Amino acid sequence: MKTEGLEAFDYEVIRSDRKTLSIEVHHQKVKVRAPKKAPEDWIESFVHQKARWIARKLVEQDEKHQTRIKLENGQLISFMGSPLILNISQGANKILLAEQELSIRNKDLKADSIAKQIDRWLLTRAKEILPQRVEHWADIMGLSKKLTGVRFRKTKTQWGHCTRAGTVQLNQLILLTPLHVIDYLIIHELSHLKHLNHSKRFWNLVEQHCPDYQKAELWLKKHGHSVWY
Ligand SMILES: [Zn+2]
């Protein structure tokens, strides 16, 4: 569906067993959740009322999207806090890290195929580099016995997660953030081994091992979205 007038945008209506209307704007797409039998004009007027809010969200998300890493030849990315230049060329799929260059050979040079290649490369690096770093911090924090494993998962919204069973799960994209942010995210998840919440005691523990944690939080708020390629 499309709205009319100045604030024109497309939106998708998802009907389900619910009683109220709600609007979500994610990844530059507008979704309206509605009851199964909600009349069209009710939905339309609801969207119209919220048009300014939706338009603002779309602009915000578009601005964030613009600052994302572009997987293009010559693009500079940060890997473990050091700059790397992407050198993308056509050839049998292969990735090679040499000095300050990440050389990516890709068969058809399609963006999603290059993204998948980098995904796999990052996952391999994460498995090589991060478990040791997590164990190192767990040791310093006296939490080694509680830590049962380190796993990796690229999700769209989370940097990390800690399970009740003691497994720390990290998003391999954290390798593209500065070193102080990587350590903060590790310390954050490890602190959940002791406090499964974001209570005052949790933040005190984070601060004890990462006194500048607010700087890292600020970095994530300002630039975090840019590493989601
Ligand atoms: Zn947390």
Q: What is the 3-class SS of 83-149, one letter each residue?
A: EEEEEEEECCCEEEEECCEEEEEECCCCHHHHHHHHHHHHHHHHHHHHHHHHHHHHHHCCCCCCCCE
pLDDT at 68 over 90: no
pLDDT digits (tens, 9 = 90+) for 100-113: 999 999 999 999 99
Q: How many Å lie between the centroid of ligand 1 and the Cα of residue 86? A: 32
pLDDT digits (tens, 9 = 90+) for 184-224: 999 999 999 999 999 999 999 999 999 999 999 999 988 88
CA–CA–CA angle 144, 154, 31 (5° rounding): 130
Residue 25's alpha-carbon distances to 13, 31, 34, 179, in angstroms, are 12, 6, 15, 32
**All CATH 3.30.2010.10 domain ranges in the chain, comma separated:** 110-227
Q: How many Å lie between the centroid of ligand 1 and the Cα of residue 121? A: 26
Tell me the three state secondary structure of residue 16. Answer: strand
Tell me the three state secondary structure of residue 188. Answer: helix
Which has more confidence, 175 or 8? Answer: 175
Q: How many Å lie between the centroid of ligand 1 and the Cα of residue 78? A: 24
Nearest-angstrom CA–CA distance, 41 and 10: 16
Nearest-angstrom CA–CA distance, 140 and 209: 9
Beta-carbon contacts of 211 under 8 Å, excluding residues fewer than 6 positions away, are none
User: Which amino acid type is present at position 207?
Assistant: E
Q: How many Å lie between the centroid of ligand 1 and the Cα of residue 55? A: 31
Q: What is the pTM of this model?
A: 0.75
Q: How many Å lie between the centroid of ligand 1 and the Cα of residue 196? A: 8
Confidence of residue 6 (pLDDT cuts 50, 70, 90): very low
Q: How many Å lie between the centroid of ligand 1 and the Cα of residue 189? A: 6
pLDDT at 3 over 60: no
Nearest-angstrom CA–CA distance, 139 and 209: 12
> For the domain bounded by 110-227, which CATH number is listed?
3.30.2010.10
Percent of the chain with pLDDT over 70: 97
| DSSP string of 52-66, one letter each residue | HHHHHHHHHHHHHHH
pLDDT digits (tens, 9 = 90+) for 129-150: 999 999 999 999 999 999 999 9
pLDDT digits (tens, 9 = 90+) for 23-34: 999 888 899 999
Q: How many Å lie between the centroid of ligand 1 and the Cα of residue 23? A: 27
User: Which amino acid type is present at position 143?
Assistant: L
Q: How many Å lie between the centroid of ligand 1 and the Cα of residue 204? A: 13
Q: How many Å lie between the centroid of ligand 1 and the Cα of residue 141? A: 16
